[in-house]
Chain A
């Protein structure tokens, strides 16, 4: 029972943290949006706490762990596949690098 209370309080703290991380601009070093990374890390920690403790996965046999976590793995696979296409299309020049160039705008204007 006490564990549940602690976890609930921690979730609240993390929620406040999520908001504060949003208010700070962490920039785009190495082409990665660090705000996104931090937001996702905090979300994963929250989800892990709900999963492990509220949903009792921590107390369940390992088979439940496999079932619970494998779907997330598959999801990451899918996202990686889609992102790969986006990044690679950028590499071979399929996308204009800046969709807001004046040429693009002129094309739109001409419609």
Chain B
């Protein structure tokens, strides 16, 4: 019997996006790539809730009287902003989105070690976010995202317990993500991929996973104790029975300081990848950068007391924490030096991801340096709980972590969606964000130095000029963040179709199709060379071009 010849269909390959179309195939997926997309959608949602709270805050702060909202409402706004941004945006941002998508691809695996646990992680995140979000919006919590005792347990009015339940559940989302990463990186690397052939993105996520595993349970327990104290009115931090509110701060910051390293380390990993690609070079000092990631994770656990210099902890402990806080700046600086050295004599290409990476290096350095002011016991006496602190952490978190997130989203957008974003819009938005960000937060350094305390809804009139500058910057920055929302969604339908490797970048994820098939690779890749093999790629590209020219 004559068989019908197979005619390959070149216009429709099976990718993870078109493998199945039903809602069930998305909500019950075990594919890490789909889970990453689900995360991108939900994280963006919570980002804009936190951003809305910030907009209200900055509008209120345009006038010294601060009478746009009531004082108590203002407290609820900054709590919403903090809780949403810290627990539901920054902590999951890169690990849950880019990490989930890329970790298996970069190590040459078919999926993470525990795909169903990965899906559980997303559900925990959404449920936790729904609970905390509705509590924050329904009645509001005014304790600040730090939930300091005894205010949060005994005196605060509001939905503290419910919000804590939401955060607790989201904490388990973080734990399961970290668990997956650590085990995957240990056991599921492709043949030939030794530890030191891994891209630095993976080192960053491994270190992040360590922090997630070792730190998150502590805050889960601490917040549970606050919740129990609220519900049953008996508590371990209650001074009336001898409890110590400073112990709450110890336990809270034992996690929450390493938490900020959860936020920044993945971003640093992204920056390493982007810098290597857009300077067409090996990362200088690869081993240093890899070890620095782990060093930041470890040292980050030893500095929590620098949030408590004026809280009543002993001065001797303060000195130790101050010293180690200085030490933890060193690995970060090592990374910045190495990225800069990589750019030296590299073929720098200022595409959108590179703009974000460069922004990261500059702004993170500024933020990190101002952190040293705060790590010094003497100056911290003056600067603690002022706008200086706010400016510092927004420089590292927004100027650092979020810029890394945006850069990574743009860099891997073609891999995730198969489409290119519009380059000029990308660059424009990056610039708008950069200008808006600096206008928002640079004046706040001055405000803090001049003594304006944080979390105040009103202020003396002499601070108005700086506050108005800050608010103006915030509105510009807001526009900058909304732009990508539009052009990235636009690109899904009308963006140029990206090939498998539009950047001609190094890395296993670029060797498969864009978007990748459900099992990631047609054949199990075998790794034989160091990462960032740009010299080979460029040589091949040149040879290819020379051959084509003949």
Direct chain A–B contact by Cβ atoms under 8 Å: yes
Q: How does the 8 Å CB contact mask read for A76-111 relative to B, with 1 for contact and 0 for none?
A: 011001101100110110100000000000000000
Q: Is the CB of A81 within 8 A of B254?
A: yes
Q: How many residues of A contact B (CB 8 A)?
A: 15
Q: Is the CB of B315 within 8 A of A81?
A: no
> B313 within 8 Å of A by Cβ?
yes
Classify the interface of chain A: helix, strand, loop or mixed. helix
Q: Which residue from B246, B251, B254, B317 sits with its C-beta under 8 Å from A84?
A: B317
Task: List B contacts of A91 (CB < 8 A).
Answer: 314, 316
Residues of A within 8 A of B (CB): 63, 70-71, 74, 77-78, 81-82, 84-85, 88-89, 91-92, 94
Number of A-B contacts (CB under 8 A): 39
Given the interface pairs A63-B186, A74-B301, A81-B304, the reply to whether A89 lies near B313 with Cβ below 8 Å is yes
Q: How does the 8 Å CB contact mask read for B55-74 relative to A, with 1 for contact and 0 for none?
A: 00000000000000000000
> B250 within 8 Å of A by Cβ?
yes
A91 to B254, CA, bound (A): 23
A12 to B204, CA, bound (A): 46
A88 to B316, CA, bound (A): 6
What distance in Å separates the Cβ of A108 from its nearest Cβ neighbour in chain B? Answer: 11
Q: Is the CB of B313 within 8 A of A85?
A: yes
- Given A85-B317, A92-B316, A94-B312, 12 additional A-B pairs, CB 8 A: A81-B254, A81-B305, A82-B250, A82-B251, A84-B317, A85-B305, A85-B313, A88-B316, A89-B313, A89-B314, A91-B316, A92-B314
A82 to B244, CA, bound (A): 12
Q: Is the CB of A82 within 8 A of B247?
A: yes
What distance in Å separates the Cβ of B295 from its nearest Cβ neighbour in chain A? Answer: 15
A63 to B246, CA, bound (A): 37
Task: List A contacts of B254 (CB < 8 A).
Answer: 78, 81
Chain A residue with Cβ nearest B320: A84
> B218 within 8 Å of A by Cβ?
yes
- A-B interface, 6 closest residue pairs, ranked by CB to CB distance from nearest: A88-B314, A88-B316, A89-B314, A74-B214, A85-B317, A88-B317
Q: Is the CB of A85 within 8 A of B304?
A: no
Task: List B contacts of A70 (CB < 8 A).
Answer: 214
What distance in Å separates the Cβ of B220 from its nearest Cβ neighbour in chain A? Answer: 14
The listed residue with most B CB atoms (<10 A of its CB), out of A71, A89, A91, is A89
